[in-house]
Amino acid sequence: MTPAPTPEDRPRLYALVPCAGVGERAGAEGPKQYAVLGERSLLAHTLAALARVDRITSVLVVLSPGDATFAKHLAGSGALTAHCGGATRADSVRNGLDELIARGAHPSDWVLVHDAARCLVRAEWIDALIDACLDDPVGGLLALPLADTLKAEREGRVEATIDRRAKWQAQTPQMFRIGLLRDALAAAGAQVTDEASAIEAAGHAPKLVPGALENFKITWPADFDLAARLLRTRT
């Protein structure tokens, strides 16, 4: 009879927050992850949500090598940092995975990669993703089925209407085994825009876990006003 796995044998869960971007489209003064929403930065809101997920062993924030302003945004979060950000998101995530391994994580452990600018994420949504993926052979991501009609554009005019059936909008966190994701990112190259794309390119089918409309990524200047209104209505 095979003995039941001990807590030490079970895969651990880590969170990784790539935080080396400059956020040019957001129109913020400086990197958008440090822009203030309410009384704290986007990054601080994000780390507070991750800290409320008890099953996450630790959170690693991947910073750009020259980032000298991060400290005040991480105060009290308990998050770890590594100045190993790369030129692209994929580079930063891959470097962060290497850093987790160097700090004692195992390739079989899980990592939840989350955008710093999805600062309205709730701990219960993260827990739902963990529950859905913990026993899955591949892993998965939070996502939303598309509701709007999609148009393809050419020179400012509609070129075609795209069938929206069976199409989803990817969100984060995205949850995969550290070793699988590291290998997939290395094979896919630096231009993939999310972790699931690299996993797909490696021949796997990530699981789609329904997320929430509120879990949007702050990208454009108007997004700050929307996020502020949503934040004020939270209980």
pLDDT of residue 3: 43
Task: Indicate whether 7 belongs to any domain.
Answer: no
- Domain tally, the chain: 1
Task: Indicate whether 8 belongs to any domain.
Answer: no
Task: Indicate whether 172 belongs to any domain.
Answer: yes
Q: What does the pLDDT look like over 34-89, one tens digit per residue?
A: 999 988 899 999 999 999 999 999 999 999 998 988 888 888 889 999 999 999 99
SS (H, E, C) 180-226: HHHHHHHHHCCCCCCHHHHHHHCCCCCEEEECCCCCCCCCCHHHHHH
pLDDT of residue 221: 87
State the residue for tokens 């209505």: 233
Q: Tell me which amino acid residue 25 is.
A: R
Least confident of 11-20, 206-215, 223-232: 223-232
9 falls in which pLDDT band (50, 70, 90)? low
Task: Indicate whether 221 belongs to any domain.
Answer: yes
30 falls in which pLDDT band (50, 70, 90)? low
Task: Indicate whether 26 belongs to any domain.
Answer: yes
Task: Indicate whether 189 belongs to any domain.
Answer: yes
pLDDT of residue 29: 56
pLDDT at 27 over 70: no
| Domain, as residue range, for 73 | 13-232
Q: What does the pLDDT look like over 107-144, one tens digit per residue?
A: 999 999 999 999 999 999 999 999 999 999 999 999 99
Token reading at 233? 């209505």
233 falls in which pLDDT band (50, 70, 90)? confident
Q: Could you tell me which residues come within 8 angstroms of residue 188 by beta carbon, excluding any fewer than 6 positions away?
A: 90, 197, 198, 201, 202
The C-alpha angle 14, 8, 138, rounded to 5 degrees, equals 50
State the residue for tokens 């231009």: 191
SS (H, E, C) 7-18: CCCCCCEEEEEE
Task: Indicate whether 6 belongs to any domain.
Answer: no
Task: Indicate whether 216 belongs to any domain.
Answer: yes
Average pLDDT of the chain, as a whole number: 90
C-alpha to C-alpha distance for 72 and 68, rounded to whole angstroms: 10
CA 214 to chain centroid: 15
Check if the beta carbon of residue 114 is closer than 8 Å to that of residue 196. no
Task: Name the residue among 144, 142, 97, 96 with its Cα closest to residue 121.
Answer: 142
pLDDT at 28 over 80: no
6 falls in which pLDDT band (50, 70, 90)? very low
CATH number of the domain enclosing 75: 3.90.550.10
C-alpha to C-alpha distance for 229 and 218, rounded to whole angstroms: 13
C-alpha to C-alpha distance for 106 and 128, rounded to whole angstroms: 23
pLDDT at 2 over 50: no
Token reading at 179? 């070793």
pLDDT at 8 over 70: no
